[in-house]
Structure 1
């Protein structure tokens, strides 16, 4: 699988910092490659577990044991196999894999745009936007409030943030970013754009550290045009996701966070 395809299949995971490997490196605990390679297999295994345990405590505020570590590691391997199989068969992530990965699927109306923000600690460096969304119909996941704050990864960098956070780590220049009235283009995919206030979408979301339901790429939502005149069952995408959820697709065993519940950092 080439690097472009790998980026496509892991982009959702990267956006919420939940893959097992990213959990290990998120707080910078891993030793140098040379030190690690000089360890015995048993020492590497124990080191990986202790790193996982420490990062879970400091980032996610969860206590874990060896069985949790093994479970999450196995779930990550299962995800990777599913993603690879999907790409080989269909050239994209299947609906079954999306359902198994996500936390919530719902139809919702965007009622307010709350602003464009720069990335915080333990988040992917893309900017993000916050929206108030009214839940019309919940298709998958634990109950949500009638109105939630949805987080869309992507938006516009400020020049100050680029200089302070991006340019110091990468050899890039300001003119390599596309300039708009709102700032410098910072979506995760070139064809992405902000969701629109007043419109209804089918959302496929994950929960992030801040407790918000989150979308990261265009595949995470479907615009349901003229929804009020049609209703949910007029849209093939809604019907399809309902069928997949009803079929009993098993969730991937990964780090799952709670929505609508602030998780203190």
Structure 2
């Protein structure tokens, strides 16, 4: 049987769609700041809007609108870090004003542009300790979601709290172990009724890109640092990916424990390799 006689597969479809998607990505790289709509990007790819939406989403795993939002967010955040005002960052990225930029930031990282610019300054986190399957769970909760989750052995809880709080030196904290316990119970709830937990992540665009890649690793599966690097950038960025994985402030929910070295060894877990091994075994037992 000739190859051309075979029924099309998802791989065949992705190969066929490649030229169209490349044309769209090239257009977006040059025109994203103009905030193009679906019709404009579809025309650049030579497809109808309906067909293009399906092709682009199937190939990239995200929608054209979401891609424009991500590019806008990354550039605006860098402008804010460099000292630009919220208004200037909005206008520089092609938005009509601060309210539009506010919506982009809430969608991308659940914080406002002003909060991102301040890097946690003015925020007050709720901090606490509660029991968990992996020892004492230490949490930091921002007004808009969970910002930190760590684990500690008996007697090391205060040090773990200090370690998490040090990642947000400009923010304040208040102790509330009861609220922490409520969050930990939600984190480790099982079954179809499990709540979706909001995350409020404060980090550079690069780190958040790596953390999003970690979220895509299914429970019970592991990948290498190299695989993550290839997904978000290039295999040559494995060391930078390792640093971003190590800086992950939300253990377990952002599953950095599922990342192994290229030879399959358990390496580089901030909260201890024995705990990393226990997490992988716990997930395997849940399947």
Query: What TM-score does the superposition give when structure 2 sets the normalisation length?
Result: 0.27
User: Larger strand proportion, structure 1 or 2?
Assistant: 1
For CA contacts below 8 A with separation 6 or more, give which structure has more relative contact order: 1
Normalized against structure 1, the TM-score is what? Answer: 0.29
